[in-house]
Structure 1
Amino acid sequence: MSEIHESPQERIEREAEKPMVVIEHLGKQFGKLRVVDDLTMTIREGETFGLIGPNGSGKTTLIRMLVGLTRPDSGSITIMGLRQSDARIAATMGYMTQSSALYTDLTAQENMQFFCDIYGLRGREQRLRIHEMLERVDLADRAASIVGTFSGGMKQRLSLACALVHKPRLVLLDEPTVGVDPELRRSFWDYFAQLNQEGVTIIVSTHHLDEAARCTRLGLLRFGRLLAQDEPETLLRLSGKATMEDAFLYFASRQQEVQA
């Protein structure tokens, strides 16, 4: 049906299915090790898409290719309808690395100012965004504190604030909850859901399978290959398992049978 003649409900459904990221036959090899192997997946606009898998499954390499820090050997990445190499994409993306990218000899506010400068936020807009984000991650009272004095959880919160300070449309988070306590993990995921409501698309990697249920959809990865891709409830139903850990093992065993 033509978009001109579609009903309001049809338009809403079409927008909900709009892809933010399209990955097709992506491959990456380091020496003889194939880290990402013929990967194809689609991430929709306004969802939290979880990259689930053990260490060494290719999650970090995939995120680095999405950000543009690593070039794929094969395949393609399209973001917001543009090729990943398009310079216009960078300003609309936020990226939180697995290891802290903060300057530990600067204050929390100075770190935030650094990231604001990178993204072109100046003057009153910069001050407002820094204040808003430090409030959101509960660090407003530590704005003038040296980051080197922060705990691991506080650094994770500040890293998240830096990744979101410019209001990106697409956020890539590489193991954002590693080393943080359960209460902070829950607050992070509550915030991710709020960002989805605001139209932000999130791609998050984790090896915590209990976090999978908080994602809109999942991509289960093992040895750089996609085992399955769907909503958490659907993956549990298709596998006939009660937990995501058992479901992951089910799809992994199916992959082994196919390759045998």
Structure 2
Amino acid sequence: GEVLGGRATGLPLVPSTSPVRRRFQVPRSGSGRHRATQPYRVLQATEVSPSRSQHELGVRNGRERGVAVGEFAPLRIGNLTLDPPLIVAPMAGITNAAFREMCYEEGAPLCASEMVTAGTLLQRHPYALKICEFGESEPIRSAQLYGVRPEQVEAASRWLVREAGAQHVDLNFGCPVKKVTAVGGGAAIPLRPRLLGRLVSSAVSGAGGAPVTVKMRMGVSDDLLTFMEAGRVAEAEGAAAVILHARTADMVWKPDIKGYLSAN
């Protein structure tokens, strides 16, 4: 019968008009309506020419699929091995469980959840609990967490791992929204390295062995670049990896990413 392809099979995917086992619902941007993704099926062995690699034949929507397993050195984050070394970034309103399961079926090695705040999670707010729901087929359960109180971050990290089954916790210190940074939160937290260190160490303690990563920006502005010191602090406090968003908070999401890393 028909099966859905993905990382487990390593086989290319092609459009199919036949029924599939499952369809995922993904919300349209700015709308409460939903649509089903286009079904795909696995190519049978007789349909694959032995003279061409599976990567070359992996075509979807008229384009070749991207990085193949083994094409680059794997990325190791704590006890996790990501091959290829790619991460689907957390995106509010997008990276829900259905979206992540689709990404995993297409070969993504790690997909993070939408950001959840420690305070609302500890209050068991229904929306926060919904964000922390994982799909049955997710091979790695990754949650992104934000908080400014170390005791809340520790308790929330512990709950994510023990109760929600998270295998990876990512701390978000990259929010550029002015009403957040104006009170010292989000991307402004690295301006206070001692607070940053306490938040990271609290998350590491609460996660109990699950790797904790830190997402940060280069700083709040060109005059206040904090990423080098913040990275050293995060490493010293037990972070398994640092994920750098190569923009300052002032740049928000402008497309012209800074070239500081290549220049230095």
TM-score (structure 2 length as normaliser): 0.32
- Bigger share in helix: 1
Q: Give the TM-score of the pair, scaled to structure 1.
A: 0.32
Structure number with higher relative contact order (C-alpha < 8 Å, ≥ 6 residues apart): 1
Quick check: which has more Rg, 1 or 2? 2
